[in-house]
């Protein structure tokens, strides 16, 4: 039973960690090397990892997808998509993908930018992280502190801890005494039945 319990909690917290890793903002320092627009069919199984078309446009399974091509300090190419999130999940309320694309197109190749994004890049799944914003920085050695993630995770785990403490107190005050009463009642019943059979 202990193995089942720990397996359940490992899967539960592992799933939450994956969702948070995907949805929380991350920052990369990169050089913008170009932009492009590709025609993409979003009816496949990986469509879950894409946002939506520009706000105000009709829904369609086939539409243009804006991409921003970059290169890291290590020389590794990295591609971002540039989609509006609108008022859907995750809640970035991004409505300016056209402006961001124009900013990326005007970026000089030798300048360094801190690109804020969410999501992951996977060649196997054919998915890209969604760029939220770009900010010009001095160089690749700039240190970026993820203040939002620190505050969010602190509040998140404080809420989880508060809920866990209250549930534990409720269990100790209400559920455990009830289970003890049931166990004592069963023991008493077994003793009476055992005594009745011994008399026979």
Q: Return the closest-CA partner of residue 101 out of 39, 32, 40.
A: 32
Q: What is the pLDDT of residue 83?
A: 93
Task: Name the nearest CA neighbour of 149 among 120, 116, 121.
Answer: 116
Alpha-helical (H) ranges within 33-105 are: 97-105
Architecture of domain 26-143: Beta Barrel (2.40)
Binned average pLDDT, 10 residues per bin, the chain of 200 residues:
85 95 96 92 74 61 89 94 89 92 90 96 91 94 94 96 90 75 69 60
CA angle in degrees (0–180, nearest 5) for 24-87-18: 25
Per-residue confidence (pLDDT) for residue 88, from 0 to 100: 84
d(CA 188, CA 142): 72
Angle at alpha carbon of residue 101, lines to 97 and 105, rounded to 5°: 170
Question: How are beta strands 112-118 and 62-72 bridged, if at all?
Answer: unpaired
Per-residue pLDDT reduced to its tens digit, 127-184: 999 999 999 999 999 999 999 999 999 999 999 999 999 988 888 777 767 777 777 6
């Amino acid at each position: 039973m202990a193995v089942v319990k720990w397996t359940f909690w490992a899967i539960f917290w592992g799933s939450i960690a994956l969702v948070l890793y995907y949805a929380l903002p991350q920052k990369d320092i990169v050089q913008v090397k170009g932009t492009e627009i590709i025609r993409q069919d979003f009816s496949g199984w990986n469509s879950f990892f894409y946002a939506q078309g520009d706000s105000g446009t009709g829904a369609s399974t086939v539409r243009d997808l804006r991409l921003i091509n970059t290169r890291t300090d290590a020389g590794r190419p990295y591609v971002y998509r540039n989609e509006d999130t609108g008022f859907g999940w995750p809640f970035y309320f991004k409505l300016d993908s056209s402006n961001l694309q124009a900013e990326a197109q005007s970026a000089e190749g030798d300048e360094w930018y801190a690109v804020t994004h969410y999501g992951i890049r996977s060649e196997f799944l054919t998915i890209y992280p969604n760029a939220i914003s770009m900010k010009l920085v001095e160089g690749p050695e700039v240190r970026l502190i993820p203040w939002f993630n620190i505050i969010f995770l602190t509040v998140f785990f404080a809420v989880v801890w508060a809920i866990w403490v209250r549930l534990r107190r409720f269990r100790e005050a209400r559920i455990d005494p009830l289970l003890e009463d049931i166990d004592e009642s069963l023991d008493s019943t077994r003793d009476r039945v055992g005594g009745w059979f011994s008399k026979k």
